[in-house]
């Protein structure tokens, strides 16, 4: 047991150093982690690390989906609901069909049910990889929104296709009508269960005397409760987690206090980072296990099949994205669409951002070793190896070239007339003006005798003047240099305050807990300054 603990602690430390390396060389960390895992897997004497698919589905998938749903903008999700829904369901099923027929035609002994099984495994893109890459490049908000929204739902549709194909192979029968009806039942009931459990947690957060720590723990319990409850009744646990997560996220400001929200964001960002790091590292570490199961003689053909299937996956997604653009132009004549002229540049970028990830590998590994009659599961090793090749090709090749494709396409912001910086300035100025109006309207009598209120009013007036200055910095002749100087001086003042607090802490007459409260306040103040000028960097 102690050896396993040491192994996984060492793995986390390696992940941290690889992520720092990725930041230094300016490459998305999922790509570096997968390649790093591949390199480490060839180190002699290293213990074999195998992925338990149940571990991925039960331990990793619910919190990662819940975190993604919590961060998703419901407004943007609803705006692009048609595109998200079509790619999360229709395109996943279409991709599964294409892969089924192609694999059936090129791989000897590969039946159509096995092809659909493979299609269900490798059809869903992994948005964690895509969004981590997009953080380092300038890209439209639309692309990020659709990618994140698609990733919330496509795992559900692909796992349903996988489940039906596996059942057909194990039982030897497949009835299309029953499969279609079951597909919709699985999704609808997943939504119902997700909302039902979300309402229970809503009531706990809203009406019970919770603390920030209790609220944070409840946010970890919720996704597991939703996923396990739905899967227990053989419905979609993924849809349940996504639905419940979106519901609770939408109501988070009415059911949680500010301390709960701050603490929850900090804890979840750390946990999500660790979970994502582990699963991408495990992809690379799994290669020796898969290769050993293949055998040396079958490896060349398996590599060739994997590269062909990878090409089919990439081309199918690109064709679907460009086809959806053409379809949108046609259908916009009859119904209202979010964008009646999407063009080809943005759809091409979206199509290229179709990297596969750990859910595909976990699905492949969950294929049973034996059929119900005791015979070995046909082509299991081939499916595993092809899945790994598809993940490697799409993640590394498309991941490394995605920034170049985005730069080549050169698509500017399409949905917002003003920049994020201008939006930020307008919002901050409006908040200051409304606050000043409220003080003058409701508390004018208190102003002459309340120095704290006078100080607050003066600060609001100063903020309005400062924001007007920021709105047009070129008028000063110095551009944004004075803003950078302001940040530098503010940081210097905060550091000086910290040094003063440390001196107070050395005196016996001051409690360390009081000093820590002031230090925490300075940390919040520094983060506030950073956020205020984030869009100007």
Note the pLDDT tens digit of each residue in 365-413.
Answer: 888 877 877 788 888 889 989 999 999 999 889 988 988 888 888 777 6
Q: Specify the pLDDT at position 475.
A: 46
Domain identity same for 488 and 391:
no
pLDDT at 466 over 80: no
Verify that 517 and 464 share a domain, yes or no.
no
Residue with tokens 């396409």: 409
* Higher per-residue confidence, 209 vs 259: 209
Does residue 422 fall inside a structural domain?
Answer: no
Q: Which of 471, 505, 525 is the last residue of a domain?
A: 471
Q: Is the pLDDT of residue 537 over 70?
A: no
CB 56 within 8 A of CB 358: yes
Query: For residue 250, what is the domain's CATH number?
Result: 1.20.1530.20
DSSP 450-499: -HHHHHHHHHHHHHHHHHHHHHSGGGGTSTTHHHHHHHHHHHHHHHHHHH
Q: What is the mean pLDDT of the chain?
A: 84
What range defines the domain where residue 458 resides? Answer: 429-471
Give the pLDDT of residue 532. 67
174 in a domain, yes or no?
yes
Q: Locate 17 and state its tokens.
A: 């150093």
Residues 467, 531, single domain; the answer is: no
Q: What is the pLDDT of residue 473?
A: 53
Confidence at residue 64, expressed as pLDDT on a 0 to 100 scale: 85
Predicted confidence at residue 449, as pLDDT, reads 84
Residues 394 and 456 in one domain: no
Is the same domain home to 376 and 514? no
Are residue 73 and residue 91 in the same domain, yes or no? yes
Cβ-Cβ contacts under 8 Å for 68 (sequence gap 6 or more): 127, 128, 148, 151, 152, 245
Helix (H, G, I), strand (E, B) or coil at 173: coil
Does 42 lie in the same domain as 161?
yes
Indicate if the pLDDT at residue 69 is higher than 70.
yes
Q: Supply the pLDDT for residue 203.
A: 96
- Mark whether 298 and 362 lie in a shared domain: yes
CA 413 to chain centre: 21
Grade residue 423 by pLDDT with cuts at 50, 70 and 90: confident
- pLDDT class of 477 with cuts at 50, 70, 90: very low
Q: 338 and 483: one domain? A: no
The confidence band for 197, taking pLDDT boundaries of 50, 70 and 90, is: very high
Least confident span in 96-105, 231-240, 272-281, 313-322: 272-281
- Determine, yes or no, domain membership for 418: no
The most confident of the ranges 7-11, 44-48, 192-196, 454-458 is 192-196
- Count the Cβ atoms, other than its own, within 10 Å of residue 469: 13
Asked if 500 and 515 sit in the same domain, the reply is yes
Q: What is the DSSP letter of 135?
A: T
Q: Is the pTM of this model over 0.85?
A: no
In a domain, 497, yes or no: yes
Query: Is 278 contained in some domain?
Result: yes
For position 482, what pLDDT does the model report?
A: 67
Question: Residue 481 above 80 pLDDT?
Answer: no
Are residue 260 and residue 146 in the same domain, yes or no?
yes
Could you tell me if 379 and 351 lie in one domain? yes
Residue with tokens 């205020």: 532
User: Residue 443 and residue 436: Cα distance in Å, rounded?
Assistant: 10
Distance CA 99, CA 91 (A): 12
- What pLDDT does residue 8 have? 79
Q: What is the tally of structural domains in the chain?
A: 3
**Between 510 and 466, whose confidence is greater?**
510
Q: Is residue 203 part of a domain?
A: yes
The answer to whether the CB of 447 falls within 8 A of the CB of 457 is yes
Q: How far apart are CA 157 and CA 239, in angstroms?
A: 9
Mean pLDDT on 479-483: 63
370 phi/psi in degrees, rounded to 5: -125, 150
């Amino acid at each position: 047991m102690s050896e396993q603990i040491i192994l996984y602690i060492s793995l986390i430390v390696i992940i941290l150093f690889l992520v720092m390396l990725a930041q230094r060389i300016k490459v998305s960390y999922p790509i570096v982690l997968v390649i790093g895992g591949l390199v480490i897997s060839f180190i002699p004497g290293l213990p074999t690390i195998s992925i338990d698919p149940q571990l991925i589905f039960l331990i990793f998938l619910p919190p990662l989906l819940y975190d993604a749903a919590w961060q998703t903008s419901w407004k943007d999700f609803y705006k692009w609901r048609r595109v998200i829904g079509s790619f999360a369901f229709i395109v996943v099923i279409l991709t599964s069909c294409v892969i089924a027929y192609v694999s059936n035609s090129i791989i000897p002994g590969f039946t159509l049910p096995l092809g659909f099984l493979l299609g269900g495994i490798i059809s869903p893109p992994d948005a964690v990889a895509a969004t981590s890459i997009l953080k380092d490049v300038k890209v439209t908000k639309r692309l990020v929104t659709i990618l994140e929204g698609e990733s919330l739902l496509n795992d559900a549709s692909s796992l349903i296709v996988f489940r039906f194909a596996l059942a057909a192979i194990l039982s030897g029968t497949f009835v299309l009508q029953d499969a279609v009806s079951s597909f919709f039942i699985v999704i609808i009931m997943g939504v119902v269960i997700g909302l039902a459990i979300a309402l229970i947690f809503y009531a706990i957060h809203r009406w019970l005397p919770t603390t920030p720590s209790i609220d944070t723990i409840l946010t970890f319990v919720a996704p597991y409760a939703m996923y396990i409850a739905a899967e227990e009744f053989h419905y979609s646990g993924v849809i349940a987690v996504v639905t419940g997560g979106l519901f609770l996220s939408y109501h988070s400001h009415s059911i949680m206090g500010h301390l709960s929200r701050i603490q929850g964001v900090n804890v979840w960002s750390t946990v999500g980072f660790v979970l994502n790091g582990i699963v991408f590292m495990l992809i690379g570490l799994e290669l020796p296990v898969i290769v050993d199961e293949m055998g040396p003689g079958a490896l060349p053909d398996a590599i060739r099949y994997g590269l062909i299937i990878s090409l089919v996956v990439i081309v199918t997604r690109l064709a679907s994205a460009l086809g959806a653009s053409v379809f949108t132009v046609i259908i916009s004549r009859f119904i209202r669409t979010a964008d009646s002229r999407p063009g080809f540049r943005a759809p091409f970028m979206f199509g290229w951002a179709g990297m596969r990830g750990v859910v595909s590998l976990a699905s492949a590994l969950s294929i049973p070793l034996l059929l119900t009659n005791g015979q070995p599961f046909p082509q299991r090793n081939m499916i595993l190896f092809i899945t790994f090749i598809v993940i490697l090709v799409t993640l590394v090749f498309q991941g490394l070239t995605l920034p170049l494709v985005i730069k080549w396409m050169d698509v500017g912001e399409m949905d917002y007339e003003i920049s994020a910086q201008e939006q930020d300035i307008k919002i901050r100025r409006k908040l200051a003006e409304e606050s000043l109006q409220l003080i003058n309207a409701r508390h004018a009598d208190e102003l002459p005798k309340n120095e704290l209120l006078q100080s607050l009013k003066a600060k609001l007036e100063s903020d309005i003047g400062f924001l007007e200055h920021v709105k047009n910095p070129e008028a000063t002749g110095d551009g944004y240099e004075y803003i950078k100087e302001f940040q530098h001086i503010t940081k210097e003042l905060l550091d000086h305050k910290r040094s003063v607090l440390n001196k107070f802490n050395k005196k016996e007459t001051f409690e360390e807990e009081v000093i820590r409260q002031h230090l925490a306040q300075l940390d919040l103040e520094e983060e506030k300054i950073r956020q205020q000028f984030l869009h100007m960097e």
